[in-house]
Amino acid sequence: MNLRRVGAISKKEFIQVIRDTRSLSMAIVIPVMLLVLFGYALTLDVDNVPMVIWDRDNSQVSKDFILNFRNSPYFQLVGWYDGYEALSGAIDQGEARFAMVIPKDFSRLVESGREVPVQFLIDGSDSNTATIVRGYIASVVGRYNERFLTAALRASGMTNPAPLDFKPRPWFNPNFESKIFIVPGLMSVIIMIISALITSLTVAREWERGTMEQLIATPVRAGELILGKFIPYVCIGYLNILIAVVMAKYFFGVPLRGSAWLLFCLSGLFLLGALAQGVLISIVARNQLFASQMAILTTFTPTFLLSGFLYPIWNMPIAVQALTYLVPARYFIAILREIYLKGIGIAGLWKQAAFLLIFSVGAMGLARRRFKKKVAW
């Protein structure tokens, strides 16, 4: 290994990246844009759910019940209607996610302590949102029933007979903010896709421009050429990681509870593997268009769907769960969330780190071997 030759290849690649504004924007600007766009647009939080009401009783008791929904941060009252046809039209046109129908004798039934049939019409076209909305409704109704029961017992001179005092204490994400869960995973997705994409063009570009033959004619070895091309993109990759960490903390308010040094070290393993995968694609593809298509196909789909970024792995079919073990982003997303949310150290992350090491070394070794065969051919 001749370090002078490696340095010369790295210098050439640095100059090429700086001169190519398209590659430079892809490497730095696009990751920032994706982080901002997805960080704000991609959310699992369901709040300000639009609702409409048909209050057939129109009494002080019914208004007090409705006030519980209006004071909730999860609901937003957008209209009052008379008749099922109007309610159905509001839901059909997307003006409301659910409608509440209060019966005529609501106040009389409540004051007599009898069961009250309040009707809730929920838009089930989005099953996940409908399930969450149903849970919110149950929570508001449950609190109303609890207050009403407590007041009735006190009026009769009795104490609250409830034997359990439910006091939930959520760990790691007390306010159940989806951005705390999404942003660390999003960092992994962006690093994987961008790193593989920008390096997938490096060797293919040399073949297209006819400069690869000139490099082959020099004493530069396959390992030196690949390492020389790696170094500039490793620097760019670490710059992206630094920007992502800073934005996560100060832009999105995601706390970093673990070691920043451990985060950067394990990120390096994942970064090297992603870059090596891109170089391997570039060697196999031999033209930039096909290389970029392969890079997107082999990184975007597995990283988004099979890494646990958005969909929990334990909820997938058994066959798909087995397939996720082959996706490097699965392990890196777990590392990021454990470090960010739980402050876990290397003792709890060594298995994921070991897989990333195998992935990086394997991808780099395969790229070097494939390049030597390509040159010999």
Domain boundary, last residue among 140, 155, 170: 155
How confident is the prediction along the chain (377 residues), in pLDDT tens digits per residue?
677 778 888 888 888 777 777 777 777 888 888 888 877 777 767 788 999 999 999 899 899 899 999 988 889 999 999 888 899 889 988 899 999 999 998 888 887 777 888 999 999 888 778 888 888 898 888 888 877 766 665 666 655 555 545 566 667 777 777 778 888 888 888 888 888 888 887 777 777 776 766 776 677 777 777 788 888 888 888 988 999 999 988 888 888 888 999 999 999 999 999 988 888 888 787 677 788 888 888 888 888 888 888 788 988 899 999 999 999 999 999 999 999 988 899 999 999 999 999 999 998 888 878 776 665 54
Q: What would you measure as the largest C-alpha separation in the chain, in angstroms?
A: 98
Same domain membership, residue 145 and residue 187: no
Rounded Cα–Cα distance for residues 341 and 339 (Å) = 6
Residue 314 and residue 210 share a domain: yes
Q: Is residue 160 part of a domain?
A: no
Domains of the chain: total: 2
DSSP assignment string, 16-59 = HHHH-HHHHIIIIIHHHHHHHHHHHH------SEEEEEEESS-S
Same domain, 131 and 245: no
187, 306: one domain: yes
Same domain, yes or no: 142 and 249: no
With respect to residue 173, please indicate whether it lies within any of the assigned structural domains: no
Contact by Cβ (8 Å): 51, 76: yes
The helix-helix angle for 222-250 and 260-285 (nearest 10°) equals 130
Q: Is residue 218 part of a domain?
A: yes
Q: Which two tokens stand for residue 282?
A: 């570039």
Give the domain-ending residue among 121, 155, 189. 155
Q: Are residues 350 and 212 in the same domain?
A: yes
Q: Looking at the structure, do residues 228 and 92 belong to the same domain, yes or no? A: no
Q: Is residue 238 within 8 Å of 264, Cβ to Cβ?
A: yes
Phi/psi zone of residue 196: left (φ > 0), alpha (ψ -120 to 50 degrees), beta? Answer: alpha
Is residue 171 one of the residues assigned to a domain? no
Whichever domain contains 141, its CATH number is 3.40.1710.10
**Shared-domain flag, residues 111 and 70:** yes
In a domain, 166, yes or no: no
Do 339 and 235 lie in a common domain? yes
Distance CA 119, CA 102 (A): 7
How far lies 131's CA from each of 103, 287, 351, 363, in Å?
24, 48, 36, 43
Of 119, 140, 155, the one marking the end of a domain is: 155
Asked whether residue 172 is assigned to any structural domain, the reply reads no
Integer CA distances (angstroms), 133 to 44, 51, 84, 97, 310, in order: 13, 10, 20, 8, 20
How is residue 200 written in tokens?
Answer: 């997938």
Same domain? 132 vs 220:
no
Task: Looking at the structure, tell me whether residues 66 and 149 fall in a common domain.
Answer: yes
Beta-strand relationship, 98-102 and 119-122: antiparallel
Domain range enclosing 204? 3-43+178-376
How deeply is 317 buried, as exposed, middle or buried, from its count of CB atoms within 10 A (0-12, 13-18, 19+)?
A: exposed
**Measured between alpha carbons, how far is residue 8 from residues 201, 220, 237, 364, 368 in Å?**
19, 10, 20, 20, 18
pLDDT computed for residue 152 by the predictor: 60
Q: In the sheet that 119-122 helps form, which strands lie side by side, from edge to edge?
A: 75-80, 49-55, 98-102, 119-122
> Which of 264, 267, 295 lies closest to 279 in space, CA to CA?
295
Residues 62 and 142 in one domain: yes
For residue 213, the model assigns a pLDDT of 66
